[in-house]
Amino acid sequence: MYEFRGATLQNAVHQALRYRALSTKKLAKVAAKFDFTARMRMGSVLFVGEGNLSFALTMSREPRVPASLILATVYEAEEDLTDTGYDNARKLLKLGSSVKTGVDATQLSDTIGKRQFHTIIFQFPNVASRDPSYEQNPNHVLVTRFLKNARNYLKPGGLVVISTVDNPFYEGAFKMDEAARKAGFAAPDIYTFDPKDYPGYTHQNTANEESAADGHTAFATFVFSG
């Protein structure tokens, strides 16, 4: 067996392949985008934490996406919907989608019943608080609890999809790999997300109508498979 810096040639080849796999995954984050439309054409979709419902509405309007298989939900009570949110809810209903208010993504059993979905999507989760919860960042607690809940609402082969700002501060806040592990998912695949690809999507910040995307240029979509 040949030696290569202390390792056998076979080990060196294995190591090289491993590094190539790692760098491919990293490249996938910057180069590839998750195809929301293709995924939504495959079956039922639950949106949670939709804010003003503009992402769910944009996606429901995509050709060959079965709008009737979409359940779009917001955390807020109906009376707290913004005018835009209310208007978008009416448009979704007109398309044949379902809309539900007062849905807590960490307590889906309270409002969703026993339905299961091909895909569950939470765009830009944010609890609007920096107070630690169980000595953890509250956004890490939110996504961990959401993932634990969502597991029970996935059909076989189902995916959970979460988009966030892509920078070290947000990565530190969410700690997606750790959240996945705690909820029993493998580490997520990571894609690039560009809100500009969805012209009808007017990203809403938690607790007001400004854009949470303001001031940020990089976004990521995390895809968790059971």
Binding to ligand SAM by residue 174, rule CB under 6 A?
Answer: no
Rounded Cα distance, 224 and 226, in Å: 7
Binding residues with ligand SAM: total (CB under 6 A): 21
Which of 57, 92, 127, 183 is in the footprint of ligand SAM by CB under 6 A?
Answer: 127
Q: Name the residue nearer to ligand SAM (CB basis): 3 or 78.
A: 78
Q: Name the residue nearer to ligand SAM (CB basis): 12 or 61.
A: 61
Binding to ligand SAM by residue 171, rule CB under 6 A?
Answer: no
Binding to ligand SAM by residue 158, rule CB under 6 A?
Answer: no
For 137, how many CA atoms within 13 A lie in the half-sphere containing its CB?
Answer: 16
Q: Name the residue nearer to ligand SAM (CB basis): 56 or 190.
A: 56
Q: How far is CA 201 from the centre of its chain?
A: 15
Rounded Cα distance, 131 and 56, in Å: 30
Q: Name the residue nearer to ligand SAM (CB basis): 122 or 185.
A: 122
Rounded Cα distance, 209 and 88, in Å: 14
Residues 10-69 that bind ligand SAM (CB under 6 A): 48-51, 55
Binding to ligand SAM by residue 124, rule CB under 6 A?
Answer: yes
Rounded Cα distance, 21 and 33, in Å: 18
Rounded Cα distance, 178 and 137, in Å: 12
**What is the rounded (10 degree) CA torsion for 28, 31, 34, 35?**
-130
Q: Give me the residues that bind ligand SAM (CB under 6 A), please.
A: 48-51, 55, 75-76, 104-106, 123-127, 142, 203-206, 212
